[in-house]
Amino acid sequence: MKNMACFSIAALALLLTSTSAWAQDTTERVAEVPQTQAAPPAKQPGIKTFFKDLYGDVKHLPSKGNAITAGIGGGLALAAHPWDDDVNRRLVGNTSAERFFKPGQVLGQFPTLITAAGTVYAVGRIGDQPKTAHIGMDLIQSLIVSEGIVQTLKFVTRRERPDHSGNNSFPSGHSADTFAFATALERHLQWRAVIPVYAFAGYVAVSRLPANRHWLSDTVFGATVGIIAGRTVTRHGRDFPVVVSPMPGGGVYVGYTRTR
């Protein structure tokens, strides 16, 4: 298990630094085009910026968009609740499912994700790549915000785990943290990263079911928490591609906007 954790961290860090470097290289190529006014050099995000941004993230958690997202996620979790026992019976003890989803236990752990995010930030700082460092910092902040929400909800709800190991089942921390990680990364890399990052997050979320550590509704609302954390941390300077807004006369509009 220890070797798997080390391998997972290394693989995640390598993937993230590679995609971050690609994104920065693309930006630098665009910057080579002659412009009438030179843009100021990007600043490396430091510790002071980290805490300032983190404070702003927490401050902006209560928002209309997040309330709508939480409402939709809560509704989906409530709809999934009647299926909790049935899904649990089908997946727990299923050897094929347990074997296939076993790596998710390590890939979605907070230590694995925070180490990978910290590695991306360190590579950006050491290599003088502000964009990469910024991605790493947003990944770290998204995980911290996600964990803060998750641990608060766990303490308040006190839902028993399906394996009876504790009263901290709702919501799933693995699901929340990986979706926070995926959302923050997708916001930087835009539409090209949608499928791989959310496939990774979905894999980790589902892995908690055959492991008998969470109910289906735990993972659904965990994903909601992660999306809220990821979009809150990356709210500045870019539009979120998924738009959720109330409709006149009732109802909710959900749309996706592809950006270049």
DSSP structure string for 154-181: HHHH-PPPTTSS-S--SS-HHHHHHHHH
| Three-state helix/strand/coil letters over 182-228 | HHHHHHHHHHHHHHHHHHHHHHHHHHCCCCCCCCHHHHHHHHHHHHH
The per-residue pLDDT for 38 is 38
The per-residue pLDDT for 255 is 54
Task: List the chain residues with pLDDT less than 50.
Answer: 2-8, 10-11, 13-15, 17-41, 237-240, 256, 258-260
The per-residue pLDDT for 235 is 86
Contact 115, 13 (CB under 8 A): yes
The per-residue pLDDT for 10 is 45
Q: Where are the beta strands (DSSP E) in the chain?
A: 242-246, 252-256
Domains, the chain, with CATH or none: 2-25+54-246 (1.20.144)
Classify burial at 231, counting beta carbons within 10 Å of its beta carbon; exposed 0-12, middle 13-18, buried 19 or more: buried
What's the pTM?
0.78
Phi first, then psi: give them for residue 255, nearest 5 degrees.
-135, 160
The per-residue pLDDT for 220 is 98
The per-residue pLDDT for 216 is 98
The C-alpha atoms of residue 243 and residue 255 are separated, in whole angstroms, by 5
CB atoms within 10 A of CB 260: 4
